[in-house]
Amino acid sequence: MARTHFGCDACASPIAPIDPRVRCLECSEYDLCADCAVAERFTSPHTAAHQTLVFKMSGSSTTMGVAANTSIVYVSVAAQSSIPQKSPGSPLPALPPALERPTQHLRHMSMPQVLPELQRTSTASALSEIANQQMSSASPLSSPIAYSRPSLPTHMETSPQPQRHVRRALSVSSAGISRPQPQQNNSSPAVVAYTPPPCAGTFFVPSPANAYSAPAYTPPSRDAAYTPLSEPARGWGPFFAEDMSPTPVLTQLLDAIFAYLDTGRTGYLAPEAYSRFLVNQGCVGAENSWNANLTASLGKTKKEAADAALKRTYDALGVEHILRPRAPERPMSVRQPSLTRTLQTFGASFARALVSPPTAGSAMPVLTRAGFADVTAIALLTDPARAWVAFTRVLKMYALPLTRAWGLLPRDVLPAQADPQMLDRVARGTAAVKEQGGRERGERIVQNVFAVENAVAVAALASDTLSLVGNSVGYYSN
């Protein structure tokens, strides 16, 4: 069962589709979030020497990730001083054959970009100054991968050099951002307080008041009730647990169907999309509430009447949904009778009395992801045998990548009998829909009576007006 979101293998937190992600090209399915990649928090078997690919947008199981044009380089200050200087005109050294093979499939990767020269203030520490001068004196790397971490030499050049800065990974500790120093003589590594330059290009000395603290991660979600799954499914399994709660197999299958129906990637299903899903299952008549009520009535267009009926169904069953404005429909142009044209010569008020106003936009109920899962579970548990036939038809029609290798849908994924609690829920919902529909029909009858009375009054006024016109014409003709 494919994950909707990627997860960080170091801190086990989900990586949102719009957040950066670092993929190891040597480990199997190993991903890091931006915090763990920058802080060098790894778990076995991943190491800093592995080649990685950076995605500036992680993507998900339904959307492609966006690869970045940079790579993360884990290199100590001493490692750069040990790299031989490149003489002018000499070609760049080639990567070892073992590391060239992965790059054949990643031609969009490029060398780490060189950052612009940073300005320094008088508050920079001596260690930061020496480290930056040492980084500037080293030649640019020919590969984004570090092969070794030699110890720090005892002598460092402090002469000024043209400054070039390469993006480096920093580790995060409780005291702030720090750079790990290489060990010498089997001693424990010393961590010196260090902070990266702010956007203005200046260094500042960290203090407990402005020490860095990573904020709590909250993955973005359109649907608060929806939680992405962490373990993928490998094949068909029961759709419901013993307590009739959906299993991960059903949840991920409904996620795939929802993504297939949500062609606009809005995170919601419009009435047209859900009605098409029911039509694909073979639902006809009252089983497809929106399609069955697609008939214009007094004061409502076809879609407005269907939206109202579908909302009654959602409300009665307790299905989660929201209201979205529907674009107004253009009224049909009706040829006005000669009576209307005559009345228009005497004033616009007569014409407005006979011509219906244009239809205004209304609100349509759209399903959330949780609402779609709930209303589909209702159909599966009220008539499992028929639902199995309908889902087999839908899966064959949609050809989802998730279930393409799973084969035909077995019958035993659904219960043998209908769930009594779900049948009671549907019965109470149906009664509520009928009661509300009866009240609305009564209101429409009252509206029709008032409409007929208004029409009679307008017709009488029109008759008097025509008589007046006839008398006026006869008077002037004499």
Same domain for 81 and 162, yes or no, is yes
Return the pLDDT at 85. Answer: 57
Question: Per-residue confidence of the chain (478 residues) as pLDDT tens digits?
Answer: 455 778 899 898 898 888 899 999 889 889 999 899 888 888 888 888 898 889 888 888 788 888 888 778 877 644 544 555 555 565 655 555 544 444 444 444 444 444 444 444 444 455 455 555 555 554 444 444 444 444 444 444 444 444 444 444 433 333 344 444 555 555 554 554 555 544 444 343 444 444 444 445 444 444 444 445 446 778 999 999 999 999 999 999 999 999 999 999 999 999 999 999 999 999 988 889 999 998 887 678 899 999 999 999 999 999 999 999 998 766 554 455 555 555 555 554 444 444 444 444 589 999 999 999 999 999 999 999 999 999 999 999 999 999 999 999 999 999 999 999 999 999 998 888 788 766 665 555 545 544 545 555 555 565 565 565 555 545 555 5
Same domain for 281 and 202, yes or no, is no
DSSP class per residue in 401-466: TTTTTT-SPPGGGS-SS--HHHHHHHHHHHHHHHHHHHHHHHHHHHHHHHHHHHHHHHHHHHHHHH
Same domain for 267 and 149, yes or no, is no
Return the pLDDT at 211. Answer: 44
Of 170, 198, 215, which one is at a domain's C-terminal end?
215
Count Cβ atoms below 10 Å from residue 208 Cβ, excluding itself.
7
Same domain for 324 and 450, yes or no, is yes
Same domain for 204 and 279, yes or no, is no
Return the SS3 of 3.
coil
What are 23's strand-pairing partners?
31, 53
Measured over all CA atoms, what is the biggest interatomic distance in the chain, rounded to whole angstroms? 129
Domain-embedded: residue 229: no
* C-alpha to C-alpha distance for 222 and 172, rounded to whole angstroms: 31
My answer on whether omega of the bond before 45 falls inside 30° of 0, hence cis, is yes
Domain count, the chain: 2
Return the pLDDT at 92. Answer: 59
Domain-embedded: residue 360: yes
Same domain for 261 and 398, yes or no, is yes
> Token pair of 140, please?
């640019």
Domain enclosing residue 121, as ranges: 1-85+96-215
Domain-embedded: residue 470: no
* C-alpha to C-alpha distance for 359 and 355, rounded to whole angstroms: 12
* C-alpha to C-alpha distance for 137 and 135, rounded to whole angstroms: 6
Domain-embedded: residue 320: yes
How many angstroms separate the Cα of 329 from the Cα of each of 301, 302, 305?
A: 8, 10, 13
> Token pair of 19, please?
């957040």
* C-alpha to C-alpha distance for 262 and 397, rounded to whole angstroms: 16
Which pTM was predicted?
0.44
387, burial (CB in 10 Å: exposed 0-12, middle 13-18, buried 19+): buried
Same domain for 368 and 437, yes or no, is yes
Same domain for 205 and 148, yes or no, is yes
Return the pLDDT at 454. Answer: 54
Same domain for 202 and 301, yes or no, is no
Name residue, tokens 């260690």.
Answer: 127
- 94-111 exposure pattern, b = at least 16 Cβ within 10 A, e = fewer: ebeeeeeeeeeeeeebeb
Of 190, 215, 240, which one is at a domain's C-terminal end?
215
Same domain for 291 and 390, yes or no, is yes
